[in-house]
Structure 1
Amino acid sequence: MSSPRPDLAPDAALSREEMEALQREIADAAVFADDFSFDPATLSNPLATTSSGGDPPVVVGVDQSFLTNEAGDQDRALSAVVALQGGEVVERVHAVTPLEIPYIPGLLSFREGRPILAALDELSVEPDLILFDGSGRIHFRQAGIATHMGVVRDVPSIGVAKSLLCGTPRGNTENLPAGSTVAVESNSRVDAPDGTLLGYAVQTRQYDSPDRYINPLYVSPGHRVGPETAADVALELASSYKLPDPVRLADTYADEAKRSLDE
């Protein structure tokens, strides 16, 4: 994959202030609205896509695992990428690269971005959509890892986070029925006017029990995808588990690749 905006690629040598300034530039360059040529309803249904006369879109999931040195410190990232077409896995690749900085809340893409870009470079197929295990617009500066990577590659992208980094849900998010969505809007912690729609809490699965419940995912547009479409895609691609299949399969593959290296 080529990088239309290499000037916006993450650079761990930047100061914190420079990183945050770059994120604001990325947010300005991002398109938080639908800008793609495929029908989201056909992402996991090859028959529907075939009847429309086109090939199924290629949907890619990205996740990370980490390797430790002899001292027990994390010193390398293993970035796993799984590509699906019509609901079937068509390619799996990974890359192992050094970790240059520690985890800093809000600056995840500067720790994990270059490893992810290295893994995406290994792909032979061209993604139509990329789902990341992390935030998109639901971010302090509206530039989570899905937005950063999406803008650098200029590919439609979505962030799928397990916890809420910032913003305020417009309703209760506890014990939601499966299929529910609750809008998440900006607040004083976000570089956007209060009330700006950032994304959605998305309940892909739920227990049929009053005694326990599954927390929602926090889904937001990364680049060239609107918030409503991002939520719809997460629901569409979560076939049997909480996580959408591309991200879940990338997570599984990351563990598998890590075990093979450990052996």
Structure 2
Amino acid sequence: MEPVRPEFVPDPSLSRAEMETRQTDIADAAAFTDDLAVEPTALGEQPVVAGVDQAFDGDTATSALVLIQGGEVIKRTHATAPTAIPYIPGLLSFREGGAILDAFVGLEREPDVVLVDGSGRIHFREAGLATHIGVTLDVPTIGVAKSLLCGQPRESLDEPLGAGERVAIEADEDVTAPDGTVIGYAVQTRQYDSDSRHINPLYVSPGHRVSAETAADVVARQAAEYKLPEPTRLADAYAGELTS
């Protein structure tokens, strides 16, 4: 797979202001509505779902890409690239995006949907890592983050959610979308049967060509025995193998 929008390939040499402007352009090009060739939540369907995660060794990023179909791994590929800039909240794609795009070059077929370890529309300028990758490749993408970058939960998350529950994340003054826009969901894939400990939810948001509701449905369906959906869980493990 090669970039369909090469003008959006992450350029870490840009200034911070230029990066933020580029993200605004990416958000304008993104589609936060469903446009998938295969319905990933339909019973009987066996879509090809990709998981992407990164690991680091000094100033080098390793992007691991795992493709799953029908619960079986059908492809693993990876790429490494230098991290030319430090971690800056909201500009993650300019640090890690190059290695991810390089990993996609090793794919002969396009996945039906890609789950990225990072945010999508839950982002100050609605253009997190999943959106940046999705728009550049023009592939359906979903952001799966472990913490909430921005936005406001519609309901309090102070009390643990039960397995299967979800809470909408709405845009607030920190997000370019109109206030109250649903930009993603807190999704509780698993929970302990105990009052003494609990599992935090995942923060799921559309990256490109997927709605917020479908993004939450896909992640819930792809989570098997663990908190993380299988594609990103296996990508995380693969990235660990590559950098250990």
TM-score range, shorter chain: over 0.9
Equivalent in the alignment of 1:186 = 171
Q: State the partner residue of 1:141.
A: 125
Which of 146, 152, 155 in structure 1 is aligned with 2:139?
Answer: 155
Q: Partner of 2:50 in structure 1?
A: 60
2:216 corresponds to: 231
Q: Could you tell me which residue of structure 2 aligns to residue 38 of structure 1?
A: 38
The alignment's TM-score, normalised by the length of structure 2, stands at 0.98
TM-score calculated relative to the size of structure 1: 0.91
What is the aligned partner in structure 1 of residue 231 from structure 2?
246
For 1:95, give the aligned amino acid. Answer: A
**Partner SS for 2:14:** coil
C-alpha distance in structure 2 between counterparts of 1:125 and 1:255, whole Å: 25
**Cα distance in 1, alignment partners of residues 39 and 115 from structure 2:** 16
Deviation of 1:85 after TM superposition, in Å, equals 1.0
Greater radius of gyration (CA): 1
Q: Distance in 2 between matches of 1:221 and 1:176?
A: 21
Aligned residues: 243
State the alpha-carbon separation in 2 of the partners of residues 125 and 115 from structure 1.
19
1:98 matches 2:88: no
Q: Are residues 1:89 and 2:73 paired?
A: yes
One-letter amino acid of the counterpart of residue 253, structure 1: Y
Structure 1 residue identity aligned to 2:4 = P
SS at match of 1:40: coil
> What CA distance in whole angstroms lies between the structure 2 residues aligned with 1:201 and 1:193?
19
Matched, 1:77 2:61: yes
Mind listing any 5+ residue stretches in structure 1 that lack a counterpart?
50-55, 68-73
Instruction: State the one-letter code of the partner of 1:62.
Output: V
What residue is the counterpart of 1:14 in the other structure? 14
SS in 2 for 1:81: strand
Residue 41 of structure 2 aligns to a residue whose secondary structure is helix
CA apart distance, 1:96: 1.2
Report % sequence identity. 62
CA apart distance, 1:41? 2.1
Q: Within 2, Cα distance between the matches of 1:123 and 1:66?
A: 22
- Could you list the per-position Cα deviations for residues 108-144 of structure 1 after superposition, in whole angstroms to 9, with x for gaps in the alignment? 0000000100111112332111000000000000000
2:186 is aligned with what amino acid? A
What's the offset of the Cα at 1:168?
A: 0.2
1:213 aligned partner: 198
Once the 2 structures are TM-superposed, how far is the Cα of residue 3 of structure 1 from its aligned partner?
A: 1.1
Query: What's the CA shift for 1:86?
Result: 1.3
Q: CA deviation at 1:40?
A: 1.8
* Partner Cα separation in structure 2 for residue 254 and residue 116 of structure 1: 12
Task: Measure, in 2, the Cα distance between the counterparts of 1:40 and 1:83.
Answer: 14
Structure-1 separation of matches of 2:141 and 2:39: 15
| Off by >6 Å, runs of 4+ in structure 1 | none
Read off the aligned partner of 1:25 and give its amino acid letter.
D
